[in-house]
Amino acid sequence: MATVSSPGEVLAVALDLHEGRLSYRIERFGERIVDDSRLGVALRGAEKLERNLSLVSQSTSSVDQRWEQAWGERRWSRDHHRELRAEFAEGVGAKRHFSVVFRVFDDGVGFRYEFPLSAGAGAGELIIEDELTEFAIAPPMTAWWIPAGEWNRYEYLYQRTPLAEVGQAHTPLTLRSADGLHVALHEAALVDYSGMWLRRSEGQRLRAQLAPAAEGWKVRRGLPFHTPWRTLVITDSAAAMYESDLVLNLNEPSQLDDVSWFQPAKYVGIWWELHLDRSSWASGPRHGATTQNALRYIDFAAEHGFRGVLIEGWNRGWDGQWFGNGWDFDFTHATDDFDFEQVTAHARERGVHLIGHHETGCAVSHYERQLDAALRLYRNHGVDVIKSGYVCDAGQIERQDRRGGPVLREWHDGQWMSRHHLEVVRRAAAQQIAINPHEPIKDTGLRRSWPNWVSREGARGMEYGAWGNPPNTPEHEVELVFTRMLSGPMDYTPGIVSLQGRGQPILSTLARQLALYVVIYSPIQMAADLPEHYLAQPQAFQFIKDVAVDWAQTRVLAGEVGDFVVMARQDRHSEDWYLGAITDEHGRDLRQSLAFLAPGQRYRAQIYRDGERAHYRDQPLDFVAEERVVDHGDSLRLRLAPGGGIAVRFTPLQAERED
C-alpha cells in the first residue's frame, strides 16, 4: 500500500491495509526484521480506531541535516532520514481521521500517530484506553530486559532470556540475534503521554502497554495531538546500536535560546556517607548536612577542582522514615544546624556551586506547590543544578488537586508524571537551573529540546553497592551501556575507590571505577566516595580529577552486550582523548588500535589499569598507574581482570623543537 526506504536503502518499511486493518513491517537489506504488526488505539467512550480504515493520502519527504548538541557524547549529530506520512479515515464518508508518520534512517525507524481535530468525531479530546501498536520481531532474538509495572521502577538487574520468554518489559529493550543483528526498542519525545511498556502477547510479538493513569485510562489529551515516536534502532553491531542518534533526532530542536549557563562538571557531596549509614539525612546527633560538614566538602571540592557539591538532608522534613513522609518536606527552610546563608556564601568565595536537592518522597503535588519558591531560593544563592528524587514504590506517586481533594496514585512513568517532569524542567530553565531527577521517568531524548534536563537515574545505580541487596554485578554495568544508556545520560555516581559498601564489597576492581567515568555518560559526574578515601588513593583520584565530562566525539571501539565494552571519547574543550573499558565477571586480554588519535601527533598516555593479579573478588585493589608515549599507529594491550577495567588519558605532547 505504501513503502519507504532509508536514505542508504538499508531499511525498508511497508504499510498495509488488510480488510480495513492497518499494519507495518520492516526489512533490513531484504531480510524481515519486523513482521506485520498492528497499528491503532482503543478509546474510552468510542469504538477502537483500528478497523474499516481506508487510505486518504500519502506523501514522502526527506531530511539531511547536521545539528549541534549543547553538550553530549558528541558535538555534531546528523539527522538523515526519509519520511512517509499516511492519512487514514474510517469507513466511507467517515468522520474519524488520523495519520501515521514513519521516519526511516539507515540505523532505525521511528513512527508516531497524529490525531487531528477530526480524530474524535467531535468531542475535542481523546481518552486512550490502550495503544494497540505491535512489534512482531521476526528473527529469533535474545533479550536484555527489566520488568515493567513492578514495584521497583527501573531498578532491576537485567534478565537475559530468549525474547519469546519476556513478560512485560521497560524500554529500551535490547535484542540480539545469533548472527549479530541488534534491535533496541524504545520511544522518543515522551511529552504529555504515558510511558510505553512492552508486553509479549505470543511468540516474539510485543504490544505497547501504556502506564495507566489514576483514573484507569492511559492517556487523556485534547485534540489535535501526536504520540511519542515508537523507535527501533536496527544495526549489525552493539557499537553501532550505542552510537545511534535516532532517538535524539526524533526530538524537537532546543526550546532554550541560551544554555551556556549550564556547565558540564564533576561534583562531590554529602551523599555516600549517608548511604553507608555513617551519618543521617535526619537531623540530630548523626546529621550529615551540618554547616561544618558542608564547609569541609566545599573546601575539599575547591582544593581538588570540583565545581559542584551536593548536600542532601539540609532542609526540613527528613526526620523519621523520610521515604514515607513526603508531605513533611520543606524545600525552603534549613534544619537548625545548617546555616544556608553561611554555606552558600562560603561556596561562592571558594568558587564552588552547591548542587541543590529536592527529595519529594513522591508527595509530588506538595512539591509542586513549593516549586517556584524553592527554585528562587536556589537561584538567588548560585545553585544552578538540582538533583531531585521520587522515592516510593512504582504506582505510588501522590497527586492531589489544589483544593485538597483526595490523594490519587500515579505511576512514575504515567502521563501525569510526564507532565510534572517537563513542568519542573521548564520552570527551572526560566531560573537557569539544570535538573537531574532520581527515580525519574525514563529518558526519551528530551535533553535535545530541554538541554537543562541534564541527567537522571532510572536504573540501578552505585547506591546498590552501598546497601548490598544484592549489589550491582560487573555484568550489570556492561548491560547498562547497551540498554539504559541508549536512552540518555545517567547519574550513576561512580568512583567508589574504597570499593566498600556498608558491610560488603563493591563488585569491582579499582581501575574499573575510573573506567566508569568514560563508559557511563553523564554531563554531571559525581566523585561519589568520601574525601578521605580519595586522599588515600591519590593516583586513582588524579584520573577522576582529570577526566572530561563533555565530549566532541564518542566511539565504541569494541563491545558486546553484557560482556565488555571499549570506548574512546574526545574532550570537547581540549585535544585530549580518554579511553575506558570494562568487562563482566570474565577477564579479557584485548589489543586495541589507537587509530582514533590524530595522525602525526604524539600523546602522553596515562594508563590506569588492573594489576597482574587483580580480580574483583579477592584482589580488587591490585592497580597500576603508568605512562607511555603513543601515537595513532600504535596499539594498546587492554588486560581486563575479572570484574575489572582500564582508563586512559591521552594528552598531545608539544611538538619537539628541531634543534
Whether the CB-CB separation of 544 and 266 falls below 8 Å is answered with yes
ω into 642 cis (within 30 of 0) = no
The answer to the question of residue 275 lying near Ca ion (CB under 5 A) is: no
Edge-to-edge order in the sheet of strand 308-311: 434-437, 385-389, 353-359, 308-311, 265-270, 524-526
Name the catalytic one among 129, 187, 359, 463.
463
Using CB under 5 A, which of the segments 171-179, 253-261, 361-369, 438-446 binds Ca ion? Answer: 438-446
Q: Which does 410 bind (CB under 5 to 8 A by kind): Ca ion, ligand NOJ, none?
A: none
Name residue 330's amino acid. D
Measured from the CB atom, is 421 or 649 closer to Ca ion? 421
Task: Supply the minimum distance, in Å, between the C-beta of residue 461 and ligand NOJ.
Answer: 6
Q: Are 345 and 294 in contact (CB under 8 A)?
A: no
Tell me the closest approach of the beta carbon of residue 426 to ligand NOJ, in angstroms. 22
User: Cβ 155 to ligand NOJ, closest distance in Å?
Assistant: 9
83 is known as an active-site residue? no
Based on the shown chain and the rule CB under 5 A, indicate whether residue 442 belongs to the binding site for Ca ion. no
**Nearer to ligand NOJ by C-beta: 246 or 454?**
454
Q: Which is nearer to Ca ion, 134 or 359 (CB)?
A: 359
Contact present, 250 and 294 (Cβ < 8 Å)? no
Q: Binds 134, which of ligand NOJ, Ca ion, none (CB < 5 to 8 A, cut-off by type)?
A: none
**Binding partner at 588 among Ca ion, ligand NOJ, none, C-beta below 5 to 8 Å by kind:** none
Of ligand NOJ, Ca ion, none, which one does residue 389 interact with (CB within 5 to 8 Å by kind)? ligand NOJ
**What's the rounded Cα separation, in Å, for the pair 621 and 219?**
51
Q: How far apart are the first and last CA of the chain?
A: 73
344, 423, 195, 119 alpha-carbon torsion, rounded to 10°: -170
Residue 399 vs residues 226, 359, 368, 435, 508: alpha-carbon distances, Å: 25, 16, 10, 21, 40
Asked if 438 interacts with Ca ion (CB under 5 A), we say yes
Q: How far is the CB of 458 from Ca ion (least distance, A)?
A: 9
Q: How many residues bind Ca ion (CB under 5 A)?
A: 1
Inter-residue long-range contacts of 56-64, CB under 8 Å, 24+ positions, other chains counted: 56/87, 56/88, 56/89, 56/97, 57/86, 57/87, 58/2, 58/84, 58/85, 58/86, 58/87, 59/84, 59/85, 60/4, 60/84, 60/85, 61/85, 62/7, 64/7
Q: Smallest Cα–Cα separation from 561: which of 183, 28, 21?
A: 183
Closest approach of ligand NOJ to the CB of residue 597, in Å: 36
CB-wise, 438 or 476, nearer to Ca ion?
438
CB-nearer residue toward ligand NOJ: 314 or 543 = 314
Report helix, strand or coil for 626: strand
C-beta of 131 vs 457, nearer to ligand NOJ: 457
Which CB sits closer to ligand NOJ, 2 or 294? Answer: 294
Taking the complex as a whole, the smallest distance from the CB of residue 150 to Ca ion amounts, in Å, to 15
- By a kind-dependent CB cut-off of 5 to 8 A, residue 576 interacts, out of ligand NOJ, Ca ion, none, with none
Residues at the contact surface with ligand NOJ, assessed by CB under 6 A: 271, 312, 359, 389, 391, 438, 457, 463
Instruction: Report d(CA 190, CA 447) in Å as an integer.
Output: 11
CA dist 507 and 616 (Å) reads 6
Quote the Cα angle for 69-385-312, to 5°: 145
Kindly state the smallest distance separating residue 485's Cβ from ligand NOJ, in Å.
17
Residue 359 binding: pick among Ca ion, ligand NOJ, none (C-beta 5-8 Å cut-off by kind): ligand NOJ
Q: Which residues are identified as catalytic?
A: 463
Residues making contact with Ca ion (CB under 5 A): 438
